[in-house]
Amino acid sequence: MKRHVPPPAGSISVVPAGSPALWRWSGSFDWLHIFLEPSLVARVAAEAFDLDPARMTVPPLDGLDLPQLRAAMGAVDAELTAGGAGGRLAAESLAHVLAVHLIRHVLAPLRPERGRDGTLPRARLRAVVAYVEEHLEAGPSLEQMAAVARLSPYHFARQFKAATG
Protein backbone atom coordinates (compact mmCIF):
# COMPACT_ATOMS: atom_id res chain seq x y z
CA MET A 1 0.00 0.00 0.00
CA LYS A 2 1.40 3.41 -0.96
CA ARG A 3 0.06 6.77 0.06
CA HIS A 4 1.48 10.24 -0.65
CA VAL A 5 -1.32 12.31 0.87
CA PRO A 6 -2.88 11.84 4.30
CA PRO A 7 -6.08 9.80 4.46
CA PRO A 8 -9.30 11.59 5.37
CA ALA A 9 -9.49 12.47 9.07
CA GLY A 10 -10.82 9.58 11.13
CA SER A 11 -10.45 7.01 8.37
CA ILE A 12 -9.07 3.52 8.90
CA SER A 13 -6.58 1.63 6.75
CA VAL A 14 -5.86 -2.09 6.90
CA VAL A 15 -2.45 -3.40 5.89
CA PRO A 16 -2.25 -7.21 5.85
CA ALA A 17 0.53 -8.76 7.94
CA GLY A 18 3.76 -9.01 5.97
CA SER A 19 2.66 -6.51 3.31
CA PRO A 20 4.88 -3.56 2.46
CA ALA A 21 3.50 -0.13 3.23
CA LEU A 22 4.83 3.32 2.43
CA TRP A 23 3.29 6.58 3.60
CA ARG A 24 4.93 9.88 2.78
CA TRP A 25 3.64 13.43 3.18
CA SER A 26 4.51 16.65 4.96
CA GLY A 27 2.57 18.46 7.63
CA SER A 28 1.14 17.37 10.94
CA PHE A 29 -1.08 14.36 11.42
CA ASP A 30 -2.21 12.00 14.16
CA TRP A 31 -1.73 8.25 13.87
CA LEU A 32 -3.18 5.40 15.79
CA HIS A 33 -1.61 2.07 14.84
CA ILE A 34 -3.29 -1.17 15.83
CA PHE A 35 -1.68 -4.47 14.96
CA LEU A 36 -3.89 -7.54 14.89
CA GLU A 37 -2.18 -10.88 15.24
CA PRO A 38 -2.98 -13.01 12.17
CA SER A 39 -3.47 -15.97 14.52
CA LEU A 40 -6.24 -14.05 16.34
CA VAL A 41 -8.05 -13.29 13.08
CA ALA A 42 -7.69 -16.96 12.06
CA ARG A 43 -9.02 -18.20 15.42
CA VAL A 44 -12.02 -15.83 15.32
CA ALA A 45 -12.75 -16.87 11.71
CA ALA A 46 -12.74 -20.55 12.65
CA GLU A 47 -14.52 -20.37 15.98
CA ALA A 48 -17.07 -17.61 15.44
CA PHE A 49 -17.76 -17.89 11.71
CA ASP A 50 -16.97 -21.53 10.96
CA LEU A 51 -14.58 -20.40 8.21
CA ASP A 52 -11.36 -22.10 7.17
CA PRO A 53 -8.63 -19.53 7.91
CA ALA A 54 -6.35 -21.14 5.33
CA ARG A 55 -8.78 -20.01 2.62
CA MET A 56 -9.03 -16.37 3.75
CA THR A 57 -6.97 -13.47 2.46
CA VAL A 58 -7.00 -10.08 4.14
CA PRO A 59 -6.91 -7.45 1.38
CA PRO A 60 -5.29 -4.04 1.83
CA LEU A 61 -7.96 -1.43 2.57
CA ASP A 62 -7.53 2.32 2.66
CA GLY A 63 -9.64 5.22 3.85
CA LEU A 64 -12.49 3.27 5.48
CA ASP A 65 -15.08 5.41 7.25
CA LEU A 66 -16.05 3.43 10.36
CA PRO A 67 -16.91 5.99 13.06
CA GLN A 68 -18.04 3.44 15.67
CA LEU A 69 -14.83 1.43 15.40
CA ARG A 70 -12.78 4.63 15.35
CA ALA A 71 -14.49 5.77 18.58
CA ALA A 72 -13.76 2.42 20.25
CA MET A 73 -10.13 2.59 19.12
CA GLY A 74 -9.84 6.13 20.47
CA ALA A 75 -11.29 5.11 23.83
CA VAL A 76 -8.87 2.21 24.18
CA ASP A 77 -5.98 4.42 23.08
CA ALA A 78 -6.92 6.96 25.77
CA GLU A 79 -7.08 4.22 28.42
CA LEU A 80 -3.67 2.89 27.42
CA THR A 81 -2.13 6.37 27.22
CA ALA A 82 -3.45 7.24 30.69
CA GLY A 83 -2.01 4.01 32.06
CA GLY A 84 -5.42 2.89 33.25
CA ALA A 85 -5.75 -0.48 34.94
CA GLY A 86 -8.13 -1.74 32.27
CA GLY A 87 -5.97 -0.82 29.29
CA ARG A 88 -4.66 -4.28 28.49
CA LEU A 89 -8.08 -5.95 28.82
CA ALA A 90 -9.67 -3.20 26.73
CA ALA A 91 -7.01 -3.65 24.02
CA GLU A 92 -7.55 -7.42 23.91
CA SER A 93 -11.32 -6.93 23.70
CA LEU A 94 -10.90 -4.36 20.93
CA ALA A 95 -8.71 -6.79 18.99
CA HIS A 96 -11.56 -9.33 19.05
CA VAL A 97 -14.13 -6.69 18.01
CA LEU A 98 -11.90 -5.59 15.12
CA ALA A 99 -11.34 -9.19 14.00
CA VAL A 100 -15.09 -9.88 14.03
CA HIS A 101 -15.80 -6.71 12.05
CA LEU A 102 -13.03 -7.44 9.55
CA ILE A 103 -14.28 -10.96 8.93
CA ARG A 104 -17.99 -10.13 8.85
CA HIS A 105 -17.83 -7.01 6.69
CA VAL A 106 -14.64 -7.20 4.65
CA LEU A 107 -13.46 -10.72 3.97
CA ALA A 108 -15.36 -12.67 1.38
CA PRO A 109 -17.19 -15.27 3.43
CA LEU A 110 -16.26 -18.70 2.16
CA ARG A 111 -18.12 -21.77 3.32
CA PRO A 112 -15.99 -24.05 5.43
CA GLU A 113 -14.73 -27.19 3.79
CA ARG A 114 -16.72 -30.10 5.16
CA GLY A 115 -18.50 -33.15 3.90
CA ARG A 116 -22.02 -32.79 2.56
CA ASP A 117 -23.44 -34.04 5.83
CA GLY A 118 -21.39 -31.74 8.11
CA THR A 119 -18.66 -34.30 8.67
CA LEU A 120 -14.92 -33.93 8.38
CA PRO A 121 -13.94 -34.40 4.70
CA ARG A 122 -12.39 -37.81 4.01
CA ALA A 123 -8.99 -36.40 3.02
CA ARG A 124 -8.71 -34.49 6.29
CA LEU A 125 -9.94 -37.49 8.28
CA ARG A 126 -7.25 -39.65 6.66
CA ALA A 127 -4.60 -37.04 7.50
CA VAL A 128 -5.71 -36.97 11.16
CA VAL A 129 -5.76 -40.77 11.41
CA ALA A 130 -2.26 -40.95 9.90
CA TYR A 131 -1.04 -38.31 12.37
CA VAL A 132 -2.56 -40.18 15.34
CA GLU A 133 -0.99 -43.46 14.21
CA GLU A 134 2.42 -41.78 13.87
CA HIS A 135 2.19 -40.12 17.31
CA LEU A 136 0.21 -42.73 19.21
CA GLU A 137 2.77 -43.13 22.01
CA ALA A 138 2.84 -39.38 22.69
CA GLY A 139 -0.96 -39.24 22.89
CA PRO A 140 -1.90 -36.46 20.44
CA SER A 141 -4.04 -33.70 21.91
CA LEU A 142 -7.29 -32.37 20.51
CA GLU A 143 -5.48 -29.16 19.54
CA GLN A 144 -2.82 -31.08 17.59
CA MET A 145 -5.39 -33.16 15.72
CA ALA A 146 -7.44 -30.03 14.98
CA ALA A 147 -4.32 -28.34 13.59
CA VAL A 148 -3.75 -31.28 11.23
CA ALA A 149 -7.37 -30.89 10.05
CA ARG A 150 -6.87 -27.08 9.79
CA LEU A 151 -9.85 -26.40 12.05
CA SER A 152 -10.42 -24.96 15.49
CA PRO A 153 -10.59 -27.62 18.22
CA TYR A 154 -14.31 -26.89 18.63
CA HIS A 155 -15.18 -27.42 14.95
CA PHE A 156 -12.78 -30.34 14.60
CA ALA A 157 -14.44 -32.18 17.50
CA ARG A 158 -17.90 -31.70 15.97
CA GLN A 159 -16.90 -32.74 12.47
CA PHE A 160 -14.71 -35.64 13.67
CA LYS A 161 -17.52 -37.02 15.81
CA ALA A 162 -19.97 -36.71 12.92
CA ALA A 163 -17.53 -38.53 10.63
CA THR A 164 -16.62 -41.35 13.02
CA GLY A 165 -19.70 -41.72 15.20
Looking at the structure, do residues 11 and 92 belong to the same domain, yes or no?
A: yes
Q: How many CB atoms lie within 10 A of CB 119?
A: 18
For residue 134, tell me if it sits in a domain: yes
Q: How many domains does the chain have?
A: 2
Exposure string for 44-60, b = 16+ CB within 10 A, e = fewer: bbbeebbbbbeebebee
Consecutive H or E run containing 123: helix 122-134
Looking at the structure, do residues 79 and 138 belong to the same domain, yes or no?
A: no
Position with higher pLDDT, 116 vs 105: 105
Position with higher pLDDT, 130 vs 121: 130
The one-letter amino acid at 7:
P
Looking at the structure, do residues 9 and 88 belong to the same domain, yes or no?
A: yes
Entry field: residues in the chain: 165
pLDDT of residue 117: 64
pLDDT of residue 124: 86
Is the pTM of the predicted complex or chain greater than 0.75? Answer: no
CA distance 126 to 77: 47
Looking at the structure, do residues 19 and 61 belong to the same domain, yes or no?
A: yes
For residue 84, tell me if it sits in a domain: yes
Instruction: Write out the residue range of the structural domain in which residue 139 sits.
Output: 122-164
Looking at the structure, do residues 12 and 58 belong to the same domain, yes or no?
A: yes
CA distance 109 to 120: 19
